[in-house]
Structure 1
């Protein structure tokens, strides 16, 4: 069975993944650059911003650590390997590596999904961005103990994360759509 307009006739999962990986990196970059503006907007909409608030990369951890989730992951992976405590610069570098790595990989997953089930690309990637926010920021990150539970997180933090991921989703879809015929 194939979708209308012959989507399966030109389906190529490898090309979709490549376009998605590149688009995911671009989406992560745009999302990261937009976060200060999104933070300002959410502060105006909801009030002062507390406890992080820029998506999975800035959401403060629960318990002992208030470091961003991405920094906690980078530290947990790197410190046993290098057998010492990471410097502030190394933690920041690791945090960015996790943030961009995750965004790039999620773009690749989206690119494959766009090949297999093209309707997912509807509404310029906004549903995909919202889904990523819900699964990563609202479920996986708190479940892993890397942030407070959603019920204990300020509304402005949720709003900031959601808008950031909507920017990511739209950027990924726009870039994927441009790149897919070129790969």
Structure 2
């Protein structure tokens, strides 16, 4: 017998999702370093040449400041960029919980859907459409693949956080001694 995702009030689910998004953003930030290590230098040089700024979040901060007619120092610009980056990561966290609660996806499926969805909607769609990055066709396939992997890390991290926090908030008293689904295998344990 599989144990379903814990059921909570919508406000608790939202809070768990937002906190999981924060944790997953931190984990993804940590994963960026080894992902950069395995990126060939010529691909990295090309990426730096075509992108409009150090990061899409920093470009977003610059555009936002300009639209608001606010002058920012380099330090303030960096803080705004980091805030935008974290706001997006935190805001995407509840997507995993929605996928689990309303689609019937198991943890692995919801983690993959959340990560791939984030990559497709943001990196492949909104970010270039808003001019926060170069058009997709200007990036090497390895750059784009690295982005997908980073978002899969995010999806996996948010899944672990949501599943763990959800069970901490309201553990299933009937689950003791019963078979349950494990995240790593997607099968009964």
| Same fold, TM-score > 0.5, yes or no | yes
For structure 2, the 5+ residue unaligned runs are 170-189
Partner Cα distance (2:32, 2:6) in 1:
39
Matched, 1:151 2:137: yes
Partner of 1:98: 84
Partner of 1:49: 44
Matched, 1:13 2:10: yes
Partner of 1:177: 163
The Cα offsets for residues 13-66 of structure 1, whole Å up to 9 and x where unpaired, read as: 32222111111100100101110111112338xx541325xxxxxx933xxxx3
Partner of 2:125: 139
Partner of 1:32: 29
Partner Cα distance (1:93, 1:121) in 2:
34
State the shift of 1:99 in Å: 0.5
Q: 1:40 to 1:112 in 2, by over 3 A?
A: same
Partner of 1:56: none
State the shift of 1:72 in Å: 2.0
Kindly name which structure, 1 or 2, has the bigger radius of gyration based on alpha carbons: 2
Secondary structure in 2 matching 1:86: coil
Partner of 2:113: 127
Once superposed, which parts of structure 1, at least 4 consecutive aligned residues long, lie more than 4 Å away? 4-9
Which structure is higher in helix share? Answer: 1
State the shift of 1:109 in Å: 2.8
Partner Cα distance (1:32, 1:8) in 2:
27
TM superposition score normalised by structure 2: 0.76
For structure 1, the 5+ residue unaligned runs are 53-58
Aligned length, in residue pairs: 167
Partner of 2:72: 86
Secondary structure in 2 matching 1:146: coil
Secondary structure in 2 matching 1:10: coil
2:32 and 2:150 in contact (8 A); partners too: yes
Q: 1:113 to 1:22 in 2, by over 3 A?
A: same
State the shift of 1:95 in Å: 0.8
2:119 and 2:148 in contact (8 A); partners too: yes
Q: 1:31 to 1:168 in 2, by over 3 A?
A: same
